[in-house]
Structure 1
């Protein structure tokens, strides 16, 4: 199953949405890669097994379950998560790409590629729609948390 959607970060027509710079959005995406337990419900801990300038090999712990993945960072552009399929977990990838069509607009594109089967039955179609909805809600939450992180860094007295 493949799924993709776009979340608008900056909306020049909506004064109630606080604008964010590309760099602030990128910092939030890096934070999500390095400290996913702040973003992912049910994740107990994350161990970074290895690190290079552009990759992280991680082990994610959900109770008794462990998932391994590889995160590839393209600075100020995109973050790609590759999850290895196991008997217990669907494999696949998630790529979050920053898109900035002009100075005022900023978007974050989420692209999922999973090993879930294509929808060829009504049950499979319903399952896929539930998964897509969960992904969308999780992504909206990610953007909300990045906004909170950016706002906290702007507050007086916060040295981070």
Structure 2
């Protein structure tokens, strides 16, 4: 089993971006949960199968493999994704964090083990590196999309 966690600042004062608040970031994360194809390059299909106000079940095609994911919402705080199939078992968290100065960041954490049951550290490390890069890109793409929607008044 392995865990990777990384935090990405939401608002960078050195760039000319609109300042995002917690609610805007939350709305963007929910949109990513509902249609990951707009935000995660490795996901080429995403269909919501069931949905209520606290969770959804979605079918995704990730790296060419079709699988279901249970997605649980903790409003304005965190979304937890749990793959129900595929090569791994575990979970992914997207958390909105705030430091003592009110600066927001999005932390993604994934904890997985390969379903094959193999304790192959090299395979886990390779998978971990690929997932980390993919998720950093997904969070950055999500934040960029939210900024764009705020700029045009769509959010």
2:147 aligns to what? Answer: 147
2:3 aligns to what? Answer: 2
Higher relative contact order (CA 8 A, sep 6+): 2
- Per-residue deviation at 1:49? 1.6
2:60 aligns to what? Answer: 60
Q: How many residue pairs are counted as aligned between the two chains?
A: 151
Q: Which blocks of at least 5 consecutive residues in structure 2 are unaligned? A: none
1:45 aligns with 2:32: no
Q: Does the 8 Å CA contact 1:80/1:93 hold for their aligned counterparts?
A: yes
2:111 aligns to what? Answer: 113
Q: Does the 8 Å CA contact 1:85/1:92 hold for their aligned counterparts?
A: no
Q: Does the 8 Å CA contact 2:68/2:83 hold for their aligned counterparts?
A: yes
1:101 aligns with 2:99: yes
CA distance in 2, matches of 1:150, 1:15: 15
CA distance in 1, matches of 2:109, 2:127: 18
User: What is the SS of the residue equivalent to 2:18?
Assistant: coil
Hey, which of these two has a bigger chunk of strand by percent?
Answer: 2
Equivalence map 1:69-88=2 (5 Å): 69-86=69-86
**TM-score, length-scaled by structure 1:** 0.77
Q: Which blocks of at least 5 consecutive residues in structure 1 are unaligned? A: none
**TM-score, length-scaled by structure 2:** 0.79
Q: Please tell me the root mean square deviation across aligned C-alpha atoms, in Å.
A: 2.7
